[in-house]
């Protein structure tokens, strides 16, 4: 986009502009980058995305794509001088946080791999990444059960806070490439029902890039979309008719799975994947360690799986 000031005549301004910029407009790289299943704008100065957009439906969050087959890597589309590297993150104390989550791309191995490009990654507090933010991502995937289309735009924020009567922005930069650590992260969630139109709902959230207490609710991080826009410097979904928009948290409650439920979810997953009784029992001991109570369903699962593994072992020794 360009803007012409036509206090003087437009033709003259344009002509003068091309003399001033005889050797080209300063080049910030592409404003928008398209991948198999996400779209983003990369900030070549901060070495993080500015925003990352997704659209998820039930078939995206199921499938066999495997994150264990992928690695974090610099995005080959970004010139080295403007790219983050894995070295920048190494031993920094900050994790590599996905904006478009890998698990939103289970339908397609390439789409999943592309979420591991460092253009989709920013320095995220480890506990935030595996805890609250992870639960927020699970909530987004869960929305695909209740709405036909879920659109999510995620990204970083650098917010000021008062220090000695002044408003100050302070943030760390990592490694040789000075990868900027955001103070906060945002997520704008837009859903629409099969009937579209008046069945649209949106909510915007701003979450500090730090450990979030188990007792915090997603609703605690709700912000008016316009407030977020004023801070990030851009407008979301510019072609959306906001007059018809519902508040997602009024339509869908915005309740995250509890941290305990999430632990149980992972333990269930790991019980399922265990390939020896030793592995199975070590997963089971995590329950005690984390002071979680298994329900009847989980007990049954454990017992059944244990019997199975013992039978398998017997069969093997017979061969």
**What residues from 111 to 170 belong to the interface with Mg ion (CB under 5 A)?**
129
CA 86 to chain centre: 18
Which of its own copies, Mg ion, none interacts with 115 (beta carbon under 5 to 8 A by kind)?
Answer: none
The contact pattern for its own copies, residues 233-262, with x = CB under 8 A and - = no contact, is xxxxxxxx----------------------
Residue 48 binding Mg ion, by CB under 5 A: no
202 forms beta bridges with: 190, 247
For the segment 67-86, give every residue that binds its own copies (CB under 8 A): 77, 81-82
**Residue corresponding to tokens 């869908």:** 252
Residue 36 binding its own copies, by CB under 8 A: yes
| 237 in active site | no
Smaller CB separation from its own copies, 192 or 286: 192
Residue 98 binding Mg ion, by CB under 5 A: yes
Helix (H) or strand (E) holding 277: helix 277-289
Stretch that binds its own copies, among 224-232, 277-285, 291-299, 301-309 (CB under 8 A): 224-232
Smaller CB separation from Mg ion, 49 or 97: 97
Is the Cβ–Cβ distance between 84 and 43 less than 8 Å? no
Residue 115, burial from CB neighbour count under 10 angstroms (0-12, 13-18, 19+): buried
277 vs 291: CA distance, rounded Å: 21
SS3 state of residue 141? helix
Contacts of 291 (CB under 8 A, 6+ apart): none
Is the Cβ–Cβ distance between 119 and 33 less than 8 Å? yes
Size of the site for its own copies (CB under 8 A): 78
Out of 98, 184, 199, 237, the active site residue is: 98
Binding residues (CB under 5 A) for Mg ion: these are: 97-98, 129
Q: Which residues are tagged catalytic?
A: 98
């Amino acid at each position: 986009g360009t803007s012409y000031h036509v206090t003087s005549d437009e033709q003259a301004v344009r002509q003068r502009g091309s003399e001033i910029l005889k050797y080209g407009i300063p080049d910030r790289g592409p404003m928008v980058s398209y991948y198999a299943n996400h779209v983003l704008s990369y900030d070549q100065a901060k070495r993080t995305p500015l925003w990352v957009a997704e659209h998820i439906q039930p078939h995206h969050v199921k499938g066999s794509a495997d994150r264990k087959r992928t690695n974090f890597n610099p995005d080959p589309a970004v010139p080295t001088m403007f790219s983050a590297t894995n070295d920048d993150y190494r031993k920094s104390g900050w994790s590599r946080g996905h904006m478009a989550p890998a698990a939103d791309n289970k339908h397609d191995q390439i789409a999943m791999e592309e979420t591991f490009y460092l253009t989709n990654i920013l320095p995220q507090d480890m506990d935030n990444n595996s805890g609250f933010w992870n639960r927020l991502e699970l909530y987004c995937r869960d929305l695909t059960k209740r709405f036909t289309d879920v659109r999510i735009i995620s990204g970083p924020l650098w917010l000021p806070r008062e220090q000695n009567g002044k408003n100050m922005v302070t943030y760390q930069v990592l490694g040789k490439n000075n990868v900027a650590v955001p103070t906060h992260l945002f997520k704008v969630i837009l859903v629409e029902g099969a009937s579209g139109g008046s069945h649209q709902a949106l909510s915007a959230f701003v979450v500090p890039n730090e450990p979030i207490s188990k007792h915090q609710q997603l609703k605690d991080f709700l912000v008016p979309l316009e407030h977020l826009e004023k801070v990030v410097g851009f407008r979301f979904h510019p072609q959306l008719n906001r007059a018809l928009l519902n508040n997602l948290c009024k339509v869908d409650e915005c309740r995250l799975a509890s941290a305990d439920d999430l632990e149980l979810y992972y333990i269930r997953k790991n019980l399922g994947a265990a390939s020896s009784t030793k592995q199975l029992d070590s997963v089971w001991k995590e329950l005690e360690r984390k002071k979680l109570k298994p329900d009847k369903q989980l007990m049954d699962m454990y017992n059944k799986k244990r019997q199975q593994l013992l039978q398998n072992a017997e069969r093997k020794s017979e061969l």
